[in-house]
Amino acid sequence: MRKKILIVDDEPNIVMTLEYTFKKQNFEVFIGRDGSEAIHILENNIPDVVLLDIMMPNVDGYQTLEIIKKSERLKHTKVVFLTAKNKASDIEKGLKLGADRYITKPFSVKKIVSEIQELLS
């Protein structure tokens, strides 16, 4: 069965790169441009992993993660933050809220694929 990934980011070039990459890895890919779109997608889909930016309009990544972790249906979904917020306090906050991994921008596509594969194995 194909793995499912939800990519949530408001930067079109990042979304396009990650979508292409994970489709090549045979993932079923869902795209959310912000947290509110992600929440809408999650109402009908349970991805294996959510790749989530923090700084987005409407609903940010922290709020989105809290919603995922509070949901009985989604609480076991893996969440990886992919963000420009790179201070130690940001990383600590993200992991404390329940993120499984925290990757900072700029990023290596190879590193993201490796992290996701490791997380899902």
Q: What is the CATH number of the domain that holds 86?
A: 3.40.50.2300
Residue with tokens 């990544």: 61
- Domain that includes residue 73, residue range: 4-120
Q: Is the pLDDT of residue 1 over 90?
A: no
pLDDT tens for each residue of 41-86: 999 999 999 999 999 998 999 999 999 999 999 989 999 999 999 9
- Determine the pLDDT at residue 68: 96
pLDDT tens for each residue of 83-114: 999 999 999 999 999 999 999 999 999 999 99
**Kind of pairing between the strands at 49-52 and 78-83:** parallel
Contacts of 57 (CB under 8 A, 6+ apart): 10, 34
- What's the total number of domains in the chain? 1
Q: What is the mean pLDDT of the chain?
A: 96
Task: Give the dihedral sign, CA 99/105/109/111.
Answer: negative
Query: The sheet that has 101-104: what strands, in order across it?
Result: 28-32, 4-8, 49-52, 78-83, 101-104
